[in-house]
Amino acid sequence: MDSYGGSLGWALLTGRDADLEPPSAWWRGPVWVKTLLAGSALTVLVGLTYGTWARYLGGDSAPLVFFLLILQITPPLLVVKRPLTAVRVAAAGMVSAIIAVLFPAAHTLFGPTLSDWPLQVHVLPYLPVLAMTLARTKPGQGRGISIIAVTLAVGVGVAQLPRAGTKTLMWSLIVVAATIAAGYGMQQRRRALEQADAAERTTVEERAKRASLQERALIARELHDIIGHHLSLIALRTDSARYRVPDVSEAAEEEFRAIGVAAREALDEARRLVGVLRDTEAEPEHEPQPGLAEVPSLIDGCRASGIGIRAEISGGDDVPALIELAAYRILQEALSNAARHSPGAEVDVEVRRGPDGLEILVENGPPTRPAAPSAGDGTGLAGIAERVSMIGGSHEAGPRADGGFRVAVKLALPGVDDA
Delimit the domains of the chain by residue range. 4-201, 211-275, 292-411
User: By percentage, how much of the chain surpasses pLDDT 90?
Assistant: 18
Per-residue pLDDT band for 7 (boundaries 50, 70, 90) equals: confident
**Short-list 124, 121, 170, 130, CA closest to 149:** 130
Q: How far is CA 273 from CA 125, 219, 269, 373, in A?
A: 70, 14, 6, 39
Answer whether 208's CB lies under 8 Å from 382's CB: yes
End-to-end Cα separation, the chain, in angstroms: 57
Q: Sheet containing 309-314: which strands, arranged edge to edge? A: 309-314, 347-354, 357-364, 405-411, 393-399
Q: How far is CA 296 from CA 310, 332, 351, 413, in A?
A: 11, 11, 11, 22
Helices 167-244 and 250-275, axial angle in degrees (round to 10): 160
Which residues, other chains included, contact 103 with Cβ-Cβ below 8 Å and sequence gap of 6+? 57
Mean pLDDT score of the chain, rounded to an integer? 81
> Does residue 236 surpass a pLDDT of 60?
yes
> Does residue 217 surpass a pLDDT of 80?
no
- C-alpha of 289 from chain center: 38
DSSP assignment, residue 82? -
DSSP assignment, residue 278? S
Q: What is the DSSP string of 156-199?
A: HHHHTHHHHTTHHHHHHHHHHHHHHHHHHHHHHHHHHHHHHHHH
Per-residue pLDDT band for 84 (boundaries 50, 70, 90) equals: very high
Instruction: Tell me the pTM.
Output: 0.52
> Does residue 110 surpass a pLDDT of 60?
no
Phi-psi region of 67 (alpha: psi -120 to 50; beta: other; left: phi over 0): alpha
Please provide the CATH number assigned to the domain covering 292-411: 3.30.565.10
Residue 272: predicted pLDDT:
64
Torsion of CA 293, 297, 299, 303, to 10 degrees: 170
Round to whole Å and give the CA distance between 102 and 81. 33
Residue 27: predicted pLDDT:
61
Answer whether 81's CB lies under 8 Å from 54's CB: no
Round to whole Å and give the CA distance between 252 and 115. 116
Per-residue pLDDT band for 418 (boundaries 50, 70, 90) equals: very low
